[in-house]
Amino acid sequence: MPPQTTTEANGPINLLRPLLLLCYSAYYIPITIYTLVTTGDIKSLSSFSDFKEAWFAHFCKLTTNTSAGKP
């Protein structure tokens, strides 16, 4: 299998993709905290493991709705 060549336009963008994904997911941390506080879910706020689960669920729920074209 021959090595794939990348154009100059794709090179820097490909390097930024992981950083953009991290920034995009970190954007949902304050939103998750706000949701947990307003719903009174203290257990998820006191346990890092439970917070990670709530954060991931919130992130996936919002990104799935957005990618499906729903507001």
pLDDT of residue 4: 65
Break the chain into its structural domains and give their ranges: 28-71
pLDDT in the model for residue 24: 86
C-alpha torsion 14→19→25→29, nearest 10: -170
pLDDT in tens, 11-51: 677 888 888 888 988 998 999 999 999 999 899 999 999 99
Dihedral sign, CA of 69, 51, 40, 23?
Answer: negative
pLDDT of 30: 93
Q: What's the sign of the alpha-carbon dihedral 63, 68, 70, 71?
A: positive
